[in-house]
Structure 1
Amino acid sequence: MTEGHPAPFGPRWRARWIWAGRPRIGMDGASTPVLDDPRDVVVLLRRALVLDAAPRSAPARIWVDGRYELRVDGTVVARGPVRSDPHRAHYDVVDLAPHLGPGEHVLGIVARHYGRPTSWWVPARPTYSLGAGGVVFEACLDGEWVVSDRTWTGRRGEAWTAVAGADSAGSLPVEAFDARRHPTGWDRPGDAAADWRPATEIVPFHSGAQADPHPPSEPFGMLAPPVRAAFPGGARHTAVSAPLDSRVGAEPTPDPVAQALADEHTAEDPGGPVHTVGFDFGGIVCGTLELDVRGAAAGTEIACAAAEHVDDDGRLVPLGQHAGFGYVAAGTGTERFTTFDPVGTRYVHASVRSPDGAPPPTLALTVAERLRPRPPGAEFACADPLLERIHAVGLRTVDLCALDAYVDCPTREQRAWTGDSVVHQMVDLVTNPDWSMARWHPQLAAAPRPDGMLPMAAACDFADDHHMFVPDWSLHWVRSVHNCYRYTGDRALVAGLLPVAEQTLRWFEAYLDRDGLLDRVSGWVLLDWASVYCEGSSSTLNALWARALEDFAEMATWIGNAGSAAWATARREAVAAAFDRFWDDTRGVYVDHVVDGEVRRTAAQHGGAAALAAGLVPTDRIDRVVARLTDRTRLVRHSWAMDTVTPEGEGIGYLYLTSGYPDPTWDVDEQMVAAEPFFRYVLHDGLARAGRADLVADQCRDWAVFLDRGETSWPECWNGGTHCHGWSATPTRDLVVHTLGITPAEPGYAAVRVAPALGDLDWARATVPTPHGPVTVEARADGAVRVDSPVPVVRG
């Protein structure tokens, strides 16, 4: 599923594993290595170079057990690696030639080993020597190799103090940095101080290791080639700042985020020892935060907390987010601190404690965005400025949720949720000429449990301990594989993923009843944050499984696996034959669920939408189903889980995830619970499959409610949740795929299908990326369609 190693690199490295100091590995019993001290640790590594001339070529590759910054003469030239399962890691490649000239240089590496799983990193189970931090680096400078070995020097990053994480799903690793303890200029040419020691070479040591010091090495195995074409980057934004007030201040705590939050809840005191400053970026941003400090006395403590929300009194409301940093000033006049990891937020509040009555410093805060690239080349325009704006905000939303993987949100969690990412991917496939992440993310998530089910989030704490799983998320993942099949036409990629897809689809078979429908599926059947009932046999889950089976059968047929295709087709046909169990002919709806043979009355949009998307609705019934799904007068937006997750709410909705939903508070006979923004992609797909793509443009106008609230990115839900969730961006895809009707007619865009369904629009135009070059379509209400395409065009 990966490309070959780029020249001049091969599977085996010339480099050796290094670290600053001996690995912190102990023993649990006689033969089981464990992390002896699983704390968050930072190390600094440097290598001096003297070059006679600027190299014409200087490709380098690097991988770190954790995360890293690679610097040349103090300038950061690479950050990584991409998140992954530690047994399926991918190194990064960077060209150092633009940064090297004749004379002295220093290669510097800041490496961070988090010790415990985070929302983006999982530790490997250590061997006797590896798994507690390690770096491999090699560069070829005009044929001369510079590799990581004992010629490097290193030391612990003593300026960083480990901060115990908060007990929260939204707790990100927090930095506490004391500039007084940091070696200034360590990453620039010059003699290192006496306390720098030769780097420790780590020789892989385990049964069968044979003392080979060069990767590939256990517990990581083969380090695979890069999966991204460029490093994350983006714009810079400086926050508007305002001094808030002076306060009494809370008791000191080692967690700077908790400190800042506690300080602003203490009493105001004009002569108080704690000064607070508020920063507002004006909208959600995500990247490394740069704190500029002027006039701070040595030892001045600055604690910063980030949040998306503030209350009516201007205080932060974290809503589960625990992010920020702490900084202790060196007292050098002008100082800058840049966070190691990206932080997503709108607001940052700082509390400042100056020593011995010194005046508070002047602070400024900037974010340097660290988002996956989106090169120019794709465009969308139409006759309705509102839809143009909705399309643009969706782009911004997905950009903010595309870091080193597609993440749920850049703020609260930054996890690569297995189901959410299908929307991000679909947006990228029609708006981003760089498909590297759209191809990579399905591979990232293809790490099933022994029973075949996929974890609900990839390469993170939730995957490491199989915290819980969302069975329906794996079905959206199958759709993401199907997207790879249709858009890329990459047989090797799809063939490599299909065994995982078959495993996860077969997992559901244990829950089939005698009629061939899924019943009482275990795990967290989430479906959507909307109040959809799923106890017993769920219409939505069955339809999603049927759609995934259909997707799988099509792909299996394409690669020549007739046996698996026949199995999937038979299972889907059984669902189709029994699906009328959920049909209420009197109301013209598919009910949410049937429990022990009892048809329950609740009927959200989801069952009918998924049935349309899966092709389960009989032809003579389609018009009734569509009419009911699109009757806005009878829709109610309701989420037991999320409606109270607001600054004003009590946040008790999460309790329903374990206790179950209460009885409905709406008129179940007359009203239908509306899909939240995530599941609207299924609704719009269902309308299009039903032959009603002409309705999609107007459906997308529902997102205007967010614009009316001043949102600059799409929130998680119609009410409640985060202010930026990539899964809410489906209109950006749908206006291109359904309204303009631009889709691959054959895998890999060997031909393009153009089937405009403008609805009430006078005209629309889009340019989409394909492997063969851009395709531009302009359609008008009078039926005129102009297509500029490098591949054959199939109309309708």
Structure 2
Amino acid sequence: MNTDFKKVLLLIGLSIWTVVLFAQESQVTINHQGKDFNMLKHAWNAQWITHPSASTMDYGVFNFRRTFDLKEAPKSFVVHLSADNRYKLYVNGTYVGRGPAIGDIAHWRYETHDLAPYLQAGTNTIAVEVINFGEFRHAKQQTFQTALILQGDTHNPVSIDTAKDSEWKVIKNNAYSTIPFVSDSVGGYYAAGPGDQVDGTLYPWGWKSPTYNDSQWQKPRLAMVEFAVGRGFLFGSTWYLVPRQIPFLSDTVTRFKKVAQANGINVSKNFVSGNEAITIPANAKVSILLDHEIHTIGYPILTVSQGKNTVIKTTYAEALFYKTSHEFSAHGGWKKGPRNDLEDQEIRGYYDIFKTDGGAQRSFQPQAMRTFRFVSLDITTADEPLVIEDYHNIYSVYPFEEKATFQSSDPSLNAIWDAAWLTLQNSSTDQFEDPYYEQLQYIGDTRIESLVSIFVSGDDRLMRKAIQQFDDSRMPNGLTQSRYPSYINQVIPTYSLLWIGMLHDYMSYRNDPEFIRNFLPGIKSVLGWFENKVDDTGMLANLAWWNFTDWSEGFQNGIPVGADDGHSANVSLQYALALQKAAEVFELLDETAQAQNYRKQAAAIIQATVQNCYDEDKKLIAERPEKDVFSQHTNVFAILADAVAPADQPALLAQLLSEKDLIQSSIYFKFYLTRAMQKAGAANLYTASLAPWKDMLDRGMTTFGETDVNPRSECHGWSASPCFDFIHTIAGIQSAAPGFQKVLIAPSFGDLTEVEASFPHPNGTLAVHFSKNKKGKVSGTITLPTGITGDFKWNNQFIKLKSGVNHL
């Protein structure tokens, strides 16, 4: 490649940095000197840099600095940066942000910051901390090598681009080493990265400040990559840079509510409020257990003074565990007691270790997000006392706004709503994830989380990002990966079908057909894999991979009976339902021939499944042709896919709810059970199905778990479904046309007498207020946004609704 092309100046002419922050990949063209340059197609002027001699593949923390002078404080100073694995950005000692948003090598995110508010006339320092988590990194973390790139806008008064001959400096921060964790040491399957071990005596304190002496620091070398380029670049590269397409996370200071236990020292309640320090004597060993009182995530900050060579072990846990129970299952974890009763319980979990250097106001903050309700500080001092100045959390989550509201005649539902919303918030960072054990974005979880997020906040950006990332994960055989991004491949074919369901959800609630059109090839490839698995019985057979449906007793490892070694009615009906959803998507986009083909395939699968697996005596569809095992799940899919005639669905639903010898739905699958209730005209049963959520609250949980009995994870986004169902099922606010351009209001009171809700429809606020008297008559108002019409349904009768206020 010629030198001139390599030196093309990109990223020019941005007057508002948020234009890039929220840019779509097709909207990143900028103008410079009368020429258009596309950030995805042309080589960046900046280059990736790294440490000149340290390993760039193994664990390591690297500090980069660039000092420069300004004649005056600028009005704008826009930079675009990224790093592998992660970075933290500081300007003149002030924290600016962290990133990049999680992605894969082919879609590596860069972020845009305006540094002007942090700059001053005179000397300034840009400081960037880059970490490579190494062998024990988070399963979500893809990587090529440790590296940093920063590109400044050409309107900036000084160029600070990272490049071969730039004035950047670097050191490896030898204060850091890693603490790997495995499932046995944490209490359940674990994939969320290592802990930090930090030796404060080796830390370069003050390195972020302009006054720091970096004369002994080294000059970086270029990373092992030809060019810094975007996804559309003509030739090859390593990281393909694309702009961050979601907002930065919201950072808020939160504080612990109480000292739950203190051994070896008295701790004033003023400590947790930040109003009083703790002094720990020399040569002492103390333990302090702090209770945040609600589940939380973030980056806790511990600030200490003096106490040279003190060792502080900080352990994080969502709940405490019985001291006598050290056995755990992959999904249940160690046995937990009541969350608010600490008797005979102890903390176990992952931890960080900080060794102090004796200086004043030394702060330790973990390199990665921590999840906890309880934190223990186990402290061993050396020859001088230690002063703990403060300890608090920086709560860091996706900035969802709670725009929906829900009130009813049953106040207990308010507590469920609040805990469900907190569950969703604590499961949402720059992707949807289980915050403690895995921090991975799974399709099954994400579909429900996406619906909760758009129903409560109206914000669909994290949903869009997830849909795109699952499409990016597709393998040569046509299936998506079950969780993505991840460097560990895991395939759940049934989750590929749920990804199609996610696309249908997006189609139902957002008028964005061109976004959906991008994924038609992916839908075809997923359904094509399943089509090739249909044998001469007309059902799916000899399925590969992990065909998970639910963590239910009776499904080994969550797999329906027959899914691995026979003909599974469960998976066959999931396939039929996905074909039906795909047909609706293709029909919306005028792909009528393909839509008809999918409907034809769905009908054939349903016919074969009913013929082979329907038990005439039980009036149920069995798990397999042997007709020896039955579940709620398969019969839920039978209702949703119309494998049973609509007129017969109420009886089938009543039977699958009453027969307790069926394999039962867990808290996750109750989302689909509720869909079957709605379809069979029995949504009034929903409020009575909330017992598992109420039980979790009774046990002192403040978020909802992966399962409702001794959950491994105390916070699992799929259990936030009540926030969706309170609006969609109880208040009855539903989409009746693609893009939510028409609504159906079909409330289901159950045992409630009054329901009031508001909802962030794309056209504006949609609000309902209903009262039901003892005779079952309903009165109230429905307010629809401008341009939206629909129907009100009650007792199988319909009333037309107009935009504005409708009185019932």
Going from structure 1 to structure 2, the CA distance change for 1:23 and 1:698 (only over 3 Å counts) comes to farther
Matched, 1:682 2:703: no
Match of 2:173 in 1: 157
Matched, 1:622 2:649: yes
Contact conserved, 2:442 with 2:482, CA < 8 A, in 1? yes
Matched, 1:519 2:538: no
Describe the superposition over 1:158-205 as per-residue Cα deviations: whole angstroms up to 9, x where unpaired: 221234443664152221112222222211222432222233233734
Q: How does 1:358-507 map to 2 (within 5 A)?
A: 358-359=384-385, 362=388, 365-407=391-433, 409-446=434-471, 447-462=473-488, 466=489, 468-507=490-529
Structure 1 stretch 371-380 or stretch 575-584: which is displaced more? 575-584
Match of 1:233 in 2: 251
Matched, 1:757 2:748: yes
CA distance in 2, matches of 1:283, 1:316: 25
Contact conserved, 2:83 with 2:148, CA < 8 A, in 1? yes
Structure 1 stretch 725-734 or stretch 375-384: which is displaced more? 375-384
Paired residue type of 1:138 = Q
Matched, 1:735 2:726: yes
Structure 1 stretch 51-60 or stretch 423-432: which is displaced more? 51-60
Paired residue type of 1:231 = L
Matched, 1:10 2:30: no
Going from structure 1 to structure 2, the CA distance change for 1:281 and 1:13 (only over 3 Å counts) comes to farther
CA distance in 1, matches of 2:93, 2:321: 40
Matched, 1:198 2:209: no
Displacement, 1:107? 1.5
Paired residue type of 1:778 = H
Going from structure 1 to structure 2, the CA distance change for 1:761 and 1:554 (only over 3 Å counts) comes to same
SS of residue in 2 equivalent to 1:429:
helix
Paired residue type of 1:10 = M
CA distance in 2, matches of 1:314, 1:290: 32
Describe the superposition over 1:403-443 as per-residue Cα deviations: whole angstroms up to 9, x where unpaired: 11101x21111111222111111100101132210111111
Paired residue type of 1:176 = Q
Contact conserved, 1:696 with 1:759, CA < 8 A, in 2? yes
CA distance in 2, matches of 1:222, 1:271: 53
Displacement, 1:234? 4.0
Contact conserved, 1:161 with 1:176, CA < 8 A, in 2? yes
Give the counterpart of 1:311 among 312, 315, 321: 321
SS of residue in 1 equivalent to 2:574:
helix
SS of residue in 1 equivalent to 2:295:
strand
Paired residue type of 2:567 = S
Q: Return 5+ residue gaps in structure 1 as ranges.
A: 25-35, 125-130, 206-211, 248-269, 636-670
Contact conserved, 1:118 with 1:461, CA < 8 A, in 2? no
Displacement, 1:13? 5.7
SS of residue in 1 equivalent to 2:705:
coil
Describe the superposition over 1:631-656 as per-residue Cα deviations: whole angstroms up to 9, x where unpaired: 3xx54xxxxxxxxxxxxxxxxxxxxx
CA distance in 2, matches of 1:728, 1:41: 37
Going from structure 1 to structure 2, the CA distance change for 1:698 and 1:492 (only over 3 Å counts) comes to same
Contact conserved, 1:6 with 1:225, CA < 8 A, in 2? no
Paired residue type of 1:436 = R
Match of 1:776 in 2: 767
Match of 2:97 in 1: 78
Paired residue type of 1:186 = W
SS of residue in 2 equivalent to 1:791:
coil
Give the counterpart of 1:672 among 644, 647, 662: 662
Match of 1:277 in 2: 288
CA distance in 2, matches of 1:213, 1:616: 53
Match of 2:713 in 1: 722
Q: How does 1:55-454 map to 2 (within 5 A)?
A: 55-116=74-135, 118-124=137-143, 131-140=144-153, 142-144=155-157, 145-149=159-163, 150-166=166-182, 169-171=189-191, 172-202=193-223, 204-205=225-226, 212=227, 218-238=236-256, 240-241=258-259, 244-245=262-263, 274-296=285-307, 298-313=308-323, 319=333, 323-356=350-383, 358-359=384-385, 362=388, 365-407=391-433, 409-446=434-471, 447-454=473-480
Going from structure 1 to structure 2, the CA distance change for 1:286 and 1:392 (only over 3 Å counts) comes to same
SS of residue in 2 equivalent to 1:86:
coil
Match of 2:532 in 1: 510
Matched, 1:575 2:596: no
Give the counterpart of 1:52 among 38, 46, 71: 71
CA distance in 2, matches of 1:393, 1:449: 37
Going from structure 1 to structure 2, the CA distance change for 1:364 and 1:605 (only over 3 Å counts) comes to farther
CA distance in 1, matches of 2:593, 2:253: 50
Could you tell me the TM-score, scaled by structure 2's length?
Answer: 0.81
CA distance in 2, matches of 1:72, 1:37: 25
Describe the superposition over 1:39-75 as per-residue Cα deviations: whole angstroms up to 9, x where unpaired: 2111111222433334333333221121111112222
Contact conserved, 2:206 with 2:212, CA < 8 A, in 1? no
Going from structure 1 to structure 2, the CA distance change for 1:107 and 1:505 (only over 3 Å counts) comes to same
Matched, 1:547 2:577: yes
SS of residue in 2 equivalent to 1:135:
strand
Displacement, 1:98? 3.1
Matched, 1:38 2:57: yes
Could you tell me the TM-score, scaled by structure 1's length?
Answer: 0.82
Give the counterpart of 1:709 among 699, 709, 730: 699
CA distance in 2, matches of 1:286, 1:413: 13
Percent identity reads 21
Going from structure 1 to structure 2, the CA distance change for 1:497 and 1:213 (only over 3 Å counts) comes to closer
Contact conserved, 2:49 with 2:149, CA < 8 A, in 1? no
Describe the superposition over 1:593-619 as per-residue Cα deviations: whole angstroms up to 9, x where unpaired: 11xx4111x322211112222232212
CA distance in 2, matches of 1:241, 1:363: 15
Displacement, 1:284? 1.9
Displacement, 1:399? 0.5
Q: Return 5+ residue gaps in structure 2 as ranges.
A: 1-23, 32-37, 266-280, 335-347, 773-777, 793-808
Contact conserved, 1:72 with 1:107, CA < 8 A, in 2? yes
Contact conserved, 1:406 with 1:421, CA < 8 A, in 2? yes
CA distance in 1, matches of 2:64, 2:282: 44
Paired residue type of 1:560 = D
Going from structure 1 to structure 2, the CA distance change for 1:757 and 1:286 (only over 3 Å counts) comes to same
Match of 1:598 in 2: 626
Going from structure 1 to structure 2, the CA distance change for 1:376 and 1:684 (only over 3 Å counts) comes to closer
Paired residue type of 1:288 = Y
CA distance in 1, matches of 2:257, 2:619: 52
Matched, 1:794 2:790: yes
Displacement, 1:571? 1.6
